[in-house]
């Protein structure tokens, strides 16, 4: 990411039914929405991220292509992919999510349990 030696921290769940490229796309897009990645931030190259995650470069390239199609990043041959558009989640929602995550941890819920509980209450 933009200078400073920051690294992009992604978690790939091989047991997930969600394809790996989609997990990458969703996590990067999520980081943009919560303000962890900002307009102009540089992403690792496809080869670098693929090596870091021990994945095929084509998997990362597909995730980057989806992000570019959604207007989240801009890419060009020979140039680093950069965050293009930043639409962040409102601060009150981030605070509520933080509180929910803390309470979920306290009761020993897994991430999947917490998401499922939220989905059940959504309507």
At 6-56, the pLDDT tens digits run 578 899 999 999 999 999 999 999 999 888 999 999 999 999 999 999 999
Task: Please tell me the total number of residues recorded for the chain in this structure.
Answer: 123
> How many Å apart are CA 46 and CA 123, to the nearest integer?
39
At residue 78, the pLDDT reads 83
Query: According to the model, what pLDDT value does residue 4 have?
Result: 39
User: What's the CA gap between 26 and 63, in Å, rounded?
Assistant: 9
Q: What is the C-alpha to C-alpha distance for residues 62 and 68, in angstroms, rounded to an integer?
A: 10
Domains of the chain: 20-83 (1.10.10.10), 91-121 (no CATH)
pTM: 0.73
Reported as a single tens digit per residue, the pLDDT across 110-120 is 998 998 999 99
């Amino acid at each position: 990411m933009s200078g400073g030696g920051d690294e992009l921290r992604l978690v790939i769940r091989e047991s997930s039914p969600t394809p790996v490229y989609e997990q990458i796309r969703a996590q990067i897009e999520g980081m943009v929405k919560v303000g962890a990645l900002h307009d102009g931030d540089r992403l690792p190259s496809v080869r670098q991220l693929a090596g870091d995650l021990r994945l095929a470069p084509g998997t990362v390239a597909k995730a980057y292509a989806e992000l570019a199609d959604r207007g989240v990043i801009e890419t060009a041959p020979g140039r680093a992919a950069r965050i293009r558009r930043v639409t962040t989640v409102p601060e009150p929602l981030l605070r509520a999510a933080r509180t929910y995550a803390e309470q979920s941890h306290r009761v020993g819920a897994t991430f999947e349990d917490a998401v499922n509980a939220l989905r059940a209450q959504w309507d």
